[in-house]
Amino acid sequence: MPDETKRSPSDRIPYSCQTIDDSDIAAVTKCLTSPFLTQGPETAQFEQEFAQWVGAKRAVAVSNGTAALHLTCLALGLDNDGLVWTSPISFTASANAARYAGARVDFVDVDVNTGAIDPAQLEQKLANASSANALPNILIAVHLAGHSFEFNKVAQLCADYGVKLIEDAAHALGAVYEDDASLKIGAHPLSAAATFSFHPLKSITTGEGGMVTTHSEELANKLALLRSHGITKNPDVMRNKHPNDGDWYYEQHDLGFNYRMCDIQAALGRSQLARLNSFMNARRMHANRYNALLADLPLILPAKTDASSWHLYAVRMDPTQSNLTRKALFDHLRALNIEAHVHYIPIHTQPYYRELGFNPGDFPVSQEYYETCLSLPIYPNLTKVDQDFVIDSIKDAFPNA
Ligand SMILES: *Cc1c(COP(=O)(O)O)cnc(C)c1O
């Protein structure tokens, strides 16, 4: 039986959880008593430190990860004649961003082992689309769970067919490319940009927040313009400024948004970024422990890797080895206050996307991945006692293992 001596049975164990300490509280408090709550020095500092941490030339902070995707699509020229591809196993924002721009969306099926975009299926779909003169403008590829997708293959295919590549790196802050471990995700010169989220369950948090990294100065400047109404105060680019116009003068050059990050959020982000390495070490340690201690169970475990940021620890059921259903395991854990989760319901099966013409059977590998996956609790402050309780509880669910 699980050892419950050091924990109360009512203690809930979420699948993920933010890590806030006194230094975060001090950073936010300091900002609150400063002259600027937004558009002050903290956001620019956070951008600089983030770009440096990742190894990208520029980082542009925005209000959330969805806004990061939306603005990057717009800054790359997407409009209502456009077409964006992504894969069904992601949060719906990966597809919604294209719909905000009025573009059409289609999907590329995934690799059942990882849930990430399958380069072989991408290659086939690109070849077909090329013959039909229906290539997408943009591919949004997702680093699912914090594991790098097969970047070199995907980026090469995008280059061959003239498709712009956006990395949805919402899960992957702190990870490196599987194909090139010397590069942190967000720093690759072969994608147009990478987008991040600072929702509390991601690698670091600002409450709500997001970031775009890119090596393109032009793209970064466009993003900075669009996140603040399309308004500029840069004297070098003014179109109609008159000698009698003073320092109040500004011009709106595009239809932008208020997608800014405020300085209170950025102050928290800077404080969190300073501890990102320790968060990553803790997540890797938890993942390695799961991999070792669940190895004898009839479950398919994620590949052991230190390249991942381990945003999720996702196992898959193996129907050839056990009759226990995913639902039964999920319910068993929920009854013990262990909040396992499922990532993700395939986007194309959502009622909104079905109304656009997609059918549940359109992407069968995504469906198979979805029906078998289960995310176990992983977050920096997961205690050994709680992790052991999760492991023992899973073992209890497999009576014959
Ligand atoms: C969290 C997430 C987003 C959206 O980020 P928000 O900050 O919540 O808007 C986009 N894509 C993926 C894969 C995510 O997990």
Same domain, residue pair 90 and 219:
yes
Q: How many other C-beta atoms lie within 10 A of the C-beta of residue 21?
A: 11
- Rounded Cα gap, residues 209 and 99, in angstroms: 21
Report the b/e string of 244-266 with b at 16+ CB within 10 A. eeeeeeeeebeebbebbbbbbbb
Q: What is the pLDDT of residue 401?
A: 57
Omega before 344 within 30 of 0, i.e. cis: yes
- Rounded Cα gap, residues 85 and 66, in angstroms: 16
* Nearest of 369, 59, 159, 303 to residue 151 by alpha carbon: 159
Average pLDDT, the chain: 96
Q: What is the pLDDT of residue 7?
A: 81
Pocket residue to mutate for ligand 1, from 16, 62, 63, 66, most atoms within 8 A of Cβ? 66
Number of structural domains in the chain: 2
Same domain, residue pair 144 and 291:
no
CATH of the domain at 330: 3.90.1150.10
Same domain, residue pair 361 and 321:
yes
Same domain, residue pair 187 and 219:
yes
Domain endpoint, select from 250, 273, 296: 273
- Rounded Cα gap, residues 112 and 205, in angstroms: 30
* Nearest of 343, 353, 358 to residue 90 by alpha carbon: 343
Domain-embedded: residue 182: yes
Mean pLDDT value across residues 125-140 = 98
Same domain, residue pair 233 and 342:
no
CATH of the domain at 57: 3.40.640.10
Looking at 139-294, list the stretches that DSSP marks H as alpha helix, in order from N- to C-terminal side: 151-161, 217-226, 263-273, 276-293
Same domain, residue pair 377 and 251:
no
Residue 87 vs residues 126, 185, 287, 345, 401: alpha-carbon distances, Å: 14, 19, 25, 12, 34
Could you tell me the pLDDT band of residue 9, with boundaries at 50, 70 and 90? confident
Domain-embedded: residue 6: no
Gap from CA of 263 to ligand 1 centroid (Å): 21
Domain-embedded: residue 184: yes
Q: What is the pLDDT of residue 133?
A: 97
pTM above 0.85, yes or no: yes
DSSP letter for each residue of 89-136: SS-THHHHHHHHTT-EEEE--B-TTTSSB-HHHHHHHHHHHHHTT---
Domain-embedded: residue 7: no
Contact criterion met (CB below 8 Å) for 155 and 165: yes
Could you tell me the pLDDT band of residue 319, with boundaries at 50, 70 and 90? very high
Could you tell me the pLDDT band of residue 8, with boundaries at 50, 70 and 90? confident
- Rounded Cα gap, residues 166 and 140, in angstroms: 5
Check whether 363 has a pLDDT greater than 60: yes
Contact criterion met (CB below 8 Å) for 184 and 55: yes
Gap from CA of 94 to ligand 1 centroid (Å): 7
- Rounded Cα gap, residues 141 and 123, in angstroms: 14
Same domain, residue pair 55 and 147:
yes
Could you tell me the pLDDT band of residue 91, with boundaries at 50, 70 and 90? very high
If DSSP codes are grouped into helix, strand and coil, which group holds residue 373?
Answer: strand
Same domain, residue pair 268 and 282:
no
**What contacts 24+ positions apart, CB below 8 Å, involve 31-35?**
31/263, 31/264, 31/266, 31/267, 32/264, 34/263
Q: What is the pLDDT of residue 180?
A: 87
- Rounded Cα gap, residues 317 and 177, in angstroms: 27
Domain-embedded: residue 17: no
Domain-embedded: residue 69: yes
Residue nearest to atom 7 of ligand 1 (CA): 65
Same domain, residue pair 363 and 255:
no
pLDDT digits (tens, 9 = 90+) for 135-155: 999 999 999 999 999 999 999
Domain endpoint, select from 254, 273, 292: 273
Gap from CA of 398 to ligand 1 centroid (Å): 33
Show the ligand 1 pocket: residues with CB < 6 angstroms: 64-66, 90-91, 93-94, 142, 168, 170-171, 197, 199, 210
Domain-embedded: residue 60: yes
Domain endpoint, select from 273, 295, 312: 273
Same domain, residue pair 298 and 243:
no
- Rounded Cα gap, residues 258 and 63, in angstroms: 8
Same domain, residue pair 150 and 184:
yes
Gap from CA of 152 to ligand 1 centroid (Å): 23
pLDDT digits (tens, 9 = 90+) for 162-209: 999 999 999 999 999 987 899 999 999 999 999 999 999 999 999 999
Gap from CA of 93 to ligand 1 centroid (Å): 6
> From the alpha carbon of 208, which atom of ligand 1 is closest?
7
Pocket residue to mutate for ligand 1, from 114, 199, 311, most atoms within 8 A of Cβ? 199
* Nearest of 351, 347, 390, 398 to residue 370 by alpha carbon: 347
pLDDT digits (tens, 9 = 90+) for 259-316: 999 999 999 999 999 999 999 999 999 999 999 999 999 999 999 999 999 999 999 9
Q: What is the pLDDT of residue 58?
A: 98
Give the structural domain span for 379.
276-397
pLDDT digits (tens, 9 = 90+) for 376-385: 999 999 999 9
The total number of residues shown for the chain amounts to 401
Contact criterion met (CB below 8 Å) for 213 and 56: yes
- Rounded Cα gap, residues 55 and 30, in angstroms: 28
Q: What is the pLDDT of residue 5?
A: 56
Same domain, residue pair 74 and 108:
yes
Among residues of the chain, what percentage have pLDDT more than 90?
95
Place of tokens 């900075």: 224
Residue 353 vs residues 33, 107, 125, 170, 232: alpha-carbon distances, Å: 46, 11, 20, 22, 37
Check whether 4 has a pLDDT greater than 70: no
133 contact partners, CB below 8 Å, separation of at least 6: none
Domain-embedded: residue 293: yes
